[in-house]
Structures are given as structure tokens and as C-alpha cells.
A and B are shown apart, each in its own frame.
Chain A
Amino acid sequence: MHLLKYDFNYSRRAFLAKAGTLAGAGVLAPLWPLIARGADIGKAYPDELMSIEAWTKGKIKTGDVITAANVDVVKELLTPIAYRQIKEMGRRIRIVATTRDVSRLFPHDYFEATLRNAGKASFGADGNVYAPNGERWIGGNPFPDAKTPVEAYANLTLSWGRHNNAVYAVKDWDIGPDGKVNYQYDFVWFEENTCGRLGPGGAFGSYTGDGHKDKLRYQTVMFTGPSDVRGTAYLNTWYYDQRKFPELVGYVPAFKRVRKFPTNQRFEPLAPGLTFYLSDAWAAGDPMLIWGNYKLVERRPMLGAVSHNQVDDPNWELATHGGPEGKTFFEYDVELIPECLVVDAEPVGFPRAPLGRKRAWIDARNMMYIGYHTYDRRGELFKSFEPAYGLYEKKGVKDLTGKHTTWSWTSVMTHDIQNNRMSRFVQAKQIAGGYKSARNVEGMYDKYLTEQALGRMGA
């Protein structure tokens, strides 16, 4: 018989006690010192936060599948839309064990940099994050043990994919209320950080010239299929100053040339049927300081798809289920995350935004969001943006980034709950056009992240 050291409400009381304080992660002990020592994070949390069985008093066990029949047992651990999906729309999720080795929740180099640079970040008078010498950030999470909502959002914003750069070959399916796949797109997403870089070349690599030194990242999204949108591409150039909108240029095949676009319309789909917006990317698709009224709502345990979601499909695609046609949801493995920061923010820099608020659930262990909701201006739930992550290893097959097993996102489901439209997409191995997912690619800026590149790649 397993004896509990703490009663079931211990963690709830502990989280409540931390509310409004500048306490960091951990209930029984501070989390990050344990992580830094490579110790078991179980010492930071009581059993009920490390085991779904303990949390549910034995009603749910690792390996169980959560369906409409038993979802009420874990309702508190789910985002509101995930709960509705399971309760009303036929979605199911499978419980896997909580990850105790936090290094498995990061890309290797990023984890090392997070440990190495802990405590070096601070906010400048302009609200931006700076390294001790006043330079741009130097790598890893600037605030690994975020105590404020803005610190948490700085972790999400300064490095999206947590590699120097990445190519995400994305296959997307858009499902209508009837459960049928109405649209399908292939697009490739390129992102490259100009600071906080890891490995040879230093924190800024070659991005020290006048044209780069005020930048945070370059990011291109280009559709490669179907043929009606093939070649449509947009290049976002992000300033390091998070008060400034990125620059946006685009290649529209009809015009056959690269043109400048306004950058403040970030709450609109990029193509018919898509339910995600530029603003949704990484739950931090807009410069951090264009949003405001950040609020740390609470800390709480959650279920999140942060491990075991890399599958052995040849093209890294996922099985589906649920909805009227059995095609609406991906199969996700979720684990009990002992502590998430629940952060709200408002789109103060966007007049006439369709949103009134966004909420992100951020895993305290790796400071990556595991759930993201937006609310309309009436305060009603609008959309969910639910990612899955993991180490890219399964059945003995590994995908490597450098010498280490790749860690990245594997898929996302974004659900417009008001219109019941779902866009779900995977980071595929390869998509139409021959683009392959990769990380830390040499020469990415020249190849994909300039206006010249847009003109070349466009159809």
C-alpha cells in the first residue's frame, strides 16, 4: 500500500498560497535547483502532482484512456475546450507517465544554455529582456523559474522552437463542423533566431551587422500545396524590441513579385479554412509588449501532450479519431504536469481585435505552453491551440539534431469552438515541394528568409 505524505488538498492549498507572491515553481521544494542538480523533480512535488493515479485516487491509471465516460474525473486538469472535445465530441486521450527527467522536455543545447544562463536576464526600462551587458539575450530560457507572467511570456517569445533555426514541413487538415476534411494544405515554416543562438558562432552568430543587430528573428511561411495557393509566402522580420510590429513582406503568385504588407492584421487565417492565425504561433505569435495586462491567474497541475507523441509513421503523421467522421482529433498521449502557470493577457495594441483575452497554460518545468485559448470580446471561448511535443524517438528509431535526439513540437490542433472548425497539423518529415523538417540548418537565412528567397520560391 502506498502511503501519502500529504493529503489530497495539499497541493491546491500550496498553489493558492503562492498566488500573488513571487514564488517560483515547486511545492515541496524549489523546482529549478533540483533540475540544476539533475535531481528527481519528485522532490519538488507531492505524489498527487506526480501520479495521475494518486491525483484521481486510483480512478485513472497510467495507460488508461480518457473518454467521455471518465473525463469528469480529470476535468480540472484539462483546458476548457479539451474537456468539451472529450465530453461532447468523441475525443480521447491516453495517459502516460509524468516525465521526471526534465532534460527530456528540451532540446539538449537549449537545456544546457538555460542552466548556464540562469539568473542573467533582466528587463530593461523599455520592457525588453537583456543580458547582463545590455546586449540581446544570449540563449536558453531567460527566466527558467518565471515568477511573473511577463517573465513566462518572455520565455515563450524570445525563442519559439528553441533551436538556432528550424524548418517545419507542415501538413495541415481543416475539418468542418460536419467532420469532413474540407481543406488540406502543405506549408513550410522557417524560423531563425538572430540572438540567443547556441553552439559555435556565439549567441549572435553572423547576425551582428547593422541590418541584423536590432532583430530577434526571421520567419517565413510558404504554402507548397495545393496548387491554388502554391508559392504564396510571407516573410516576417521581428525586431528585438517587443514594442514594435514585425515587418511583413509577401509573395502572392498572382502578382509574381514580392510586396510589402501591413503587419497588424494578425488575427486572420492565412488561407481559406485555416483556423490558426499568425498571432497564435507558439502562443506568442505577436511581439510580447504589443499585448498587455499580463496576469498570472494561478498555478495548477494540468494534463499535457509533452511526451510520447512522436510516432513511427514514415512521414511522422498521426492517427485521427472523433468528430462526426472520425477525423477531427489526433491521438495524443498526455501526462500529468505537476505545475503549470496560467497566464492571461489582453491585446491592448490591437484596436478592433476579435479577441478580448488570451490564456496560456505554461509547463513550469520547461516553460513551454501546453495549452492556449483565446476569448472573444464578449469573454466567450473562441479558439484552442493545443500542441504536442516530444523527443523524436520511437521504437529505437531516432531523429537527431546534431548529436542529440531531436526535441520539437510534433503536432497542433487548433479548434474554433464557436464555429466548430478544426485545423490540425503535424510537423511532417516531408511535404509537397520536397521540403523536409530540419533544425540548425546551415545557410537558412540566404535560402529562405530574404525577399530574394521569397521571389525565388514563389510559384
Chain B
Amino acid sequence: MGKTTTVRCLAGLLRPSAGEIHFKGARTDGRQPHAIAHAGLGLVPEGRHIFPNLTVRENLVMAGIRRADAREPWTLERVLEFFPRLAERLANGGNQLSGGEQQMLAIGRALMTNPDLLVLDEATEGLAPLIRQQIWNKLEALKQTGLAMIVIDKEVDALLRFADRHYIVEKGEIVWSGDSDALESDKQAQDAYLSV
């Protein structure tokens, strides 16, 4: 609870009732969502929300933001190279994709904005285990490029392998934080917060 609200506040879709949000040294709470996206925050929302009436290609192209300071900018070609599956589906409508393809498209769309920080809200939710693994592999590959990410997920095993730092959020508050080793060894925290 409170995770999606946090994400919506980060992206400027909600105004926080208290506190401040700083991104790359500048305060972003209260700024327009499109301005925050231009500042370099890429969001892959829960439920994916790709545009059903646009083709795969159009979903990607419409989100394109070119930034002068991007070292290795994401272009349509590079996104398609990264997700070859999408290249096969270019002319398909967004409503004709499988769940996994939709998730790839949602990530690809966020990459097209050339973000410095990618926020993924429940990116693997509702996907088959095999597809879920594919998404985790892709996120690992993105991590290798040096892209900062905030990943919200319930799959602790995958997160333990993937993430450097962990925060457990309960009812809108951080109740535990630490690195992967600490989380793995802290059975108590795992049992208290993460067991269903």
C-alpha cells in the first residue's frame, strides 16, 4: 500500500500532501507531469496503459524525446533492437498484443523519452513465469547500461538478484531498508513484511 501513490507523486500525476520531491538536484513536486518527464523521469505504469488505438510503432514514436545530454540516446531503432519482439509487431495495434508484449512496449515507450531514471510499477504483474523472466533479463540488461531504476515488485527472489538497495514499504511508510545481502540474511524482516 502506498507504492503506486508514491510513483504517481514522483511522476507529478498526484500532488503530495506533505514533503518534497527532489530529482537530479531540483525540486519536482508541484511541477507538471510532462515537465517532469522532460527532466528525465521515465515511468512504466502499473497496468501498462499502452495506447490501444495506436500501432506499436506509433506508441513508440509519439513518446520520443531527444535530449542533447543523452550519451547513448534511445531511438526507435535502438528500442527495436533491444526488444526484437516489438520489431515483429510494428504494424500491430496496441490492443493486439499479448501481456508480455504490452509490457515490453510500455518499457520501450518509457525508454523513448530517454530517461535518467526509469520507474517501473509492478512491471511483471500478471505475466506468465517465462515472460516474467524475460522482462527481468531485459531490466538486467538495462541496468548494465548504467540506467538508474526504481522497481516496485512483489517478486523478492528476482529483486534479490537484480537490485542493489531494497526498501520495504508498508502502509505508505518505509519499514525496512538495506542491500540484497542484508535482506537475504534478515529472515525476520522477510517473514514480517513479505510473507503472504
Are A and B subunits of one complex? no
- Chain B residues with CB under 8 Å of chain A are none
